[in-house]
Amino acid sequence: MTIVLNDPSLWPIISYSQETSYFEVICLTAVVYDWALTFGQEFELVWRQRWSLMTFLYLSVRYIGIPYSVITMLVVLTSISFTDAVSTILYFVESWISIIVNAMLGVMIIARLYAMYERSRHMLIFLVVTFLATRITSVVIAAILIQYISGEEYVFSGVHMCTYAFQGDAVFLIGISWILVTPWETLALCLAVWAAVKHFRELQQPSTRWTVGDCFTILIKTHVFYFASFVTVSTFQLSNDFSLKLENSNSVAEEIFLGILGLARGVQMFILGPRLILGVREYHANLVANSDEGTGIASIIFQERVHISTGDGV
């Protein structure tokens, strides 16, 4: 049901809501700009290479990002009118895309760690079981939330705003889903750092060993940036969920908060996410181009086989 209000006291909310939409425009611009900036690398390192699971995951995450950013931008634009039903549908489309993309990013992380731990079957089983436990719970919570969240259209002094009504335990469930995912990301970072430290300690004089060390440097560098973005998103998300319990969901502070949250989430998933793969493939391509005889690395992470090996059996 569309709610029409012409109270002048609501004008600050209208102003801040319009400013919030700028964050989503910035997010879309950043995603498109990053795609254009890296398209040359993508063409050489992804499209022209043999297709694999990592190729599919990279392209899926990269090219879902643009329509996702468009949807999130349309929802907050005050010049576009949506019915309550359409608003609700857009909310759940946005939520499920986020769940699916983060699941894909989780598979990328598992592949990286599997390679870093020398294709250990026990490590793979541990990672898969832990990952599935958190993701299945998130999917169940998302399914339950369908009956607790509904979209509402407000018209404030002729300006259209799309808001959402959180009923029952909706806010609590959203917070729980983020709390469950945070330990997984923390565990993944700790395992990656531990594997890197272990390999750096094993580095000795032979120059070929330094290649493996450099590879782990690239892995850690991309992973740390990604993890930092995830921490930022989680902090904003949990803070926003907590604020919903304390104040009206249409508050000015929350509008700005949601804008920053949307921008950080887009950067994490659709810019830093694809770079988890692109960064390592670029490193491998430069390594091959700069080597006359090769370095003994049979295949770096995200090639057709996830494996690291050197001439002396490391």
Give the DSSP per-residue string, 36-53: HHHHHHHIIIIITSPP-H
CA distance 149 to 242: 17
What tokens were used for 50?
Answer: 């043999």
- Asked whether residue 313 is assigned to any structural domain, the reply reads no
CA distance 196 to 191: 9
- Asked whether residue 132 is assigned to any structural domain, the reply reads yes
CA distance 120 to 31: 35
Q: Give the N- to C-terminal CA distance of the chain in Å, as an integer.
A: 65
- Asked whether residue 314 is assigned to any structural domain, the reply reads no
- Asked whether residue 113 is assigned to any structural domain, the reply reads yes
What tokens were used for 269?
Answer: 């998933």
**Structural domain boundaries, residue 134:** 3-289
Amino acid at the residue 170:
A
Residue 35, SS3 per DSSP: helix
234 CB neighbour count, 10 Å cutoff: 19
Are 93 and 146 in contact, with CB atoms under 8 Å apart? no
- Asked whether residue 118 is assigned to any structural domain, the reply reads yes
- Asked whether residue 303 is assigned to any structural domain, the reply reads no
C-alpha dist (Å) from residue 1 to 27, 155, 217: 30, 11, 55
7-43 residues labelled b (16+ CB within 10 A) or e (exposed): eeebeebbebbbebbebbebbbebbeebbeebeeebe
Specify the number of domains making up the chain.
1
- pLDDT digit string, tens, across residues 84-114: 677 778 888 888 898 899 999 999 999 988 8
Dump strand ranges (E) for the chain. Answer: 3-5, 149-156, 159-166
Facing residues of 151 across strands?
164
- Asked whether residue 308 is assigned to any structural domain, the reply reads no
CATH classification at residue 97: 1.20.1070
What tokens were used for 297?
Answer: 């690395």
The CA dihedral of 126, 129, 135, 137, to the nearest 10 degrees, is: -130
Are 254 and 240 in contact, with CB atoms under 8 Å apart? yes
Are 98 and 268 in contact, with CB atoms under 8 Å apart? no
The pLDDT assigned to 291 comes to: 64
**For the chain, which ranges sit under pLDDT 70?**
1-17, 78-79, 81, 84, 151-166, 168, 170-171, 203-215, 238, 240-255, 291-314
Kindly give, in sequence order, each residue whose CB lies less than 8 Å from that of residue 231, ignoring residues fewer than 6 positions away. 185
CA distance 214 to 283: 9
Q: Which helix (H) or strand (E) holds 235?
A: helix 207-246
- Asked whether residue 312 is assigned to any structural domain, the reply reads no
